[in-house]
Structure 1
């Protein structure tokens, strides 16, 4: 039997940020790149008033979101034909490969915790520029 390295618990405080392909800046969190996680990524996102992501999907990875404060809107579906209003206290589930476009048309920032079944911060993000113009 081979000796294996014991699992190691890690702690971090969000400090640095990175620019996501989607068009938002994220606070660094739990990811393969920061903690060595193997199957999950979790980070914080603040969407400023008027902030808008690019249309995208996460290839083969599910996403869970908990809205900490503020309100936002998310368009989703093959042609972004569905609209979901979100507010503090809501939990949102986005299945793998579902196109979506979040935005904040309100006067206050929206903050959320985002977790994904992809351990990388950005690897599974697929931009869908052909859908951007479908959301006013």
Structure 2
């Protein structure tokens, strides 16, 4: 894709998935790689019961999440010392550079729409393996 702003509106229907560095499979959505987007990325995530990400942060972009179905928890903070419970209908904001680790502790699949201010799907994801063991398995 070029660095030039797209000149046409586009419609996508998430069908294919890609393996994210965080340990989840994401449904490909709006991103520089799919539409030529210059300042935003939006995709859908389905987390099966028991699904757990790797501890990570997004170095240079903010994240907004809307939980469509199910529930999950998210550990966050420099040492993943904070815990946030999320349920269908919740909107979550994650500032750039904040470590986090989501887990579906429920009995049904959790489904969310995720938007980021980085147009690349995985560009500024930084894994934090030293934090993975701070959260109970």
8 Å CA contact 2:5–2:37 kept in 1: the answer is no
Partners in 1 of 2:105 and 2:61 — Cα distance? 27
Determine helix, strand or coil for the equivalent of 2:14. Answer: coil
1:115 maps onto 2:115 in alignment: yes
Listed as ranges, the gaps of 5+ residues in structure 1 are: none
TM-score scaled to structure 2, two decimals? 0.95
Partners in 2 of 1:64 and 1:129 — Cα distance? 23
Number of residues of Structure 1 aligned to a counterpart in Structure 2: 133
Distance verdict in 2 for CA 1:7–1:109, change over 3 Å = same
Larger Rg: 1
Listed as ranges, the gaps of 5+ residues in structure 2 are: none
Runs of 4+ in structure 1 deviating by more than 4 angstroms, as ranges, are none
TM-score scaled to structure 1, two decimals? 0.95
Distance verdict in 2 for CA 1:13–1:97, change over 3 Å = same
Root-mean-square deviation (CA), in Å? 1.3
Distance verdict in 2 for CA 1:5–1:22, change over 3 Å = closer
